[in-house]
Amino acid sequence: MRRRTFIERSAISLAGISFGSSLIKSDLFAMTKNTAIKPMAIATWNFQKAAQTAGEMLEQGENALDAVEQGVMVEESNLKNTTVGDGGAPDRDGNVTLDACIMDATGNAGSVVYLKEIEHPVSVARKVMEETPHVMLAGEGALQFAIQQGFKRKNLLTPESEAEWKEWLKNKEYKPIINIENHDTIGMLCMDKNGDIAGACTTSGLSYKMNGRVGDSPIIGSGLFVDNEIGGAAGTGMGEAIMKSVGSFLIVELMRQGKSPQEACQEAVMRTVNKSPNYKDFQVAYIAMNKNGEVGSYCIHKGFSYAMFQDGKSSDNLSASYLEE
């Protein structure tokens, strides 16, 4: 029996008797979880169109997984976004390499890393989740798998990104600037009409990274984590810092312990800040959503915003709370 069905059945069979154990606490939660919940989508940065695409699907009754995939695909196809999908900035050797992952409400996950020439890595990640016994495929193997699945190869290096890269090559200075470049990774969390949560995260990673570098975005627990009993979280910013604290998993676990999404995001950011003497030099930002439909967001430096779609309305450019200017 699937866990959710089990919880729902347990909830029904246990209603009306006195409770005491933590299992029963989760049954009670399951009984009440969906009553006042409206579908919604939240996304890192100001990706209003992506959040709206997902949010409208959710309002039409589509499930969280389909909505989150379609939502982030908007940015994967956005040529002006130089940190995701087609048009993404290359590594220092001129390769556009993409990282993405997706998680559904049953706890299933799929991921691709260092994927070249495929416009929608999130969809390949979903195929890894659904069509293979694995969670993560990398590089050549991921590309081969994508082609077998019918994805078409495409040159993702646009003339604009190529020109900027050639400009960069003149000095070859590798210095990610907070909120000015490297700031368009999309992490998205969706809750559907059943109150089920799914998430996705997709990126071309840090501009002019070393060839072979993989960031937090495709790492389950770092750039994204969803536990449908509790909620979900997604991260953006300096992937190395997010990976070292397994930030998204940490946030979901903090929510499990009773923290609000806001408190959990703040504590995860502070975990990184307290361990990083150089925290002033990089950005880390999170968004989170819990089962009650509450959301939170926190970052190190001013300038991170997120987008939300609920009740037929976009709320874009929502400024996250931050530690410092």
Q: Report, as residue numbers or ranges, the catalytic residues.
A: 185
* Cα first-last separation, the chain: 51
Nearest to 205 by CA among 300, 119, 88, 86: 88
Binding residues with ligand SD4: total (CB under 6 A): 15
Q: Please, what is the minimum distance in Å from the beta carbon of residue 186 to ligand SD4?
A: 8
- Please say whether the dihedral angle defined by the alpha carbons of residues 115, 130, 49 and 289, taken in this order, is positive or negative: negative
Which string of x and - marks every residue 196-235 that binds ligand SD4 (by CB under 6 A)? Answer: -------x-xx--------xxx------------------
Q: Please, what is the minimum distance in Å from the beta carbon of residue 7 to ligand SD4?
A: 33
Among 33, 116, 120, 183, binds ligand SD4 (CB under 6 A): 183
Distance CA 191, CA 19 (A): 28
Give the strand order in the sheet containing 186-191. Answer: 136-138, 109-115, 98-103, 197-203, 186-191, 40-44, 305-310, 313-319
Q: Please, what is the minimum distance in Å from the beta carbon of residue 273 to ligand SD4?
A: 17
95, HSE (Cβ side, Cα atoms, 13 Å): 15
Which residues make Cβ contacts (< 8 Å) with residue 249, sequence separation at least 6?
A: 220, 221, 222, 225, 233
Among 111, 207, 236, 245, binds ligand SD4 (CB under 6 A): 236
Q: Please, what is the minimum distance in Å from the beta carbon of residue 169 to ligand SD4?
A: 20
**Per CB under 6 A, does 83 bind ligand SD4?**
yes
Count CB neighbours of 264 within 10 A: 27
Q: Please, what is the minimum distance in Å from the beta carbon of residue 109 to ligand SD4?
A: 17
CB distance 112 to 98 below 8 Å: yes
CB distance 231 to 295 below 8 Å: no
State which amino acid sits at residue 72: V
Listed ranges 56-64, 123-131, 183-191, 292-300: which one lies at the site for ligand SD4 (CB under 6 A): 183-191
Listed ranges 11-19, 226-234, 236-244, 302-310: which one lies at the site for ligand SD4 (CB under 6 A): 236-244
Interface of this chain with ligand SD4, residues 239 to 258, rule: CB under 6 A = 239
**Per CB under 6 A, does 117 bind ligand SD4?**
no
Q: Rank residues 56 and 184 by Cβ distance to ligand SD4 and give the closer one.
A: 184
**Per CB under 6 A, does 75 bind ligand SD4?**
no
Interface residues toward ligand SD4, by CB under 6 A: 83, 182-185, 203, 205-206, 215-217, 236-239
